[in-house]
Amino acid sequence: MPISAHRIENGQTLVIAVEGRFDFSSHQAFRDAYEQADGGVERYIVDLSDTTYLDSSALGMLLLLRDHAGGDAASISIENCNSDVRRILSISNFEQLFSIC
């Protein structure tokens, strides 16, 4: 499965891991990952350790997650980006919306 989700920290944190290309083809799976996990989730981690590529529709999906998680009140961190992925996130200045590490 290119997108997988699991909970940590007593289920309060949902970790969504994306494997391979993060693009429009992951749309439904990414959405399912957070929509089906509802209930008690307070924090989200998007784990991109195994993500090779990220395009603008993936940026859009991250914005949708942020919206789902409460917009400005959302607590989402995007973790373990490789340098290409990191570059794309920073060109769009997504560090203003997410904590990226």
Partner 1 sequence: MILRALLEKLGHRVFEVGDGAVAVARFAELQPDIVLLDAMMPGLDGLEAARKIRALAGDRLVPLVFLTALSDPRELARCLEAGGDDFLIKPFNRVILEAKLNALNRVRLLHQALSERAEQERRKNEQMLAEQRMARLVFDNVAHAGCLSSPHIRYHASPMSVFNGDVVFAANRPGGGSLVFLGDFTGHGLPAAIGAMPVAEIFYGMVSHGFRAPDILREINSKLRRILPVGMFCCGAMIETDSRQGLLRAWNGGLPDAWLLRASGERIAIPSRNLPLGVREPEQFAASMVVFQATPGDQVVLMTDGFSEIRDPHGNMLGESGVRGVLAGLESPGQAFDALLARIKAFAGRPESVDDLTLCALEITGTTPPQTPVKISAEEAPAGPADWQCIYEVREKTLAEFNPLPLLLHICMEVPGLRCRSGEVYTLLSELYNNALEHGVLALSSEWKDSPRGFAFYYQERQRRLAETDGHFVRFSLSHESRPPGGRLRITCEDSGDGFDFANHSARVTERSTGQASSYAGRGLELLRRMATGLKVHGRGNQVEVIYDWEPPRRTEGRQTDE
Stretch that binds partner 1, among 1-9, 10-18, 36-44, 59-67 (CB under 8 A): 59-67
CB of 40 or CB of 53, closer to partner 1: 53
With CB under 8 A as the contact rule, the residue among 46, 48, 97, 100 that binds partner 1 is: 97
Q: How many residues bind partner 1 (CB under 8 A)?
A: 14
Residue entry with tokens 């973790």? 79
**34-38, long-range: CB < 8 A, 24+ apart:** 34/5, 34/65, 34/68, 34/69, 35/68, 37/5, 37/7
Is 28 among the residues that bind partner 1 (CB under 8 A)?
no
Tokens representing residue 18 in the block: 């994306």
Is 20 among the residues that bind partner 1 (CB under 8 A)?
no
Is 41 among the residues that bind partner 1 (CB under 8 A)?
no
Residue 39, phi-psi category: left (phi > 0), alpha (psi -120 to 50), beta (remainder): left
Interacting residues with partner 1 (CB under 8 A): 56-57, 59-61, 63-64, 67, 91-94, 96-97
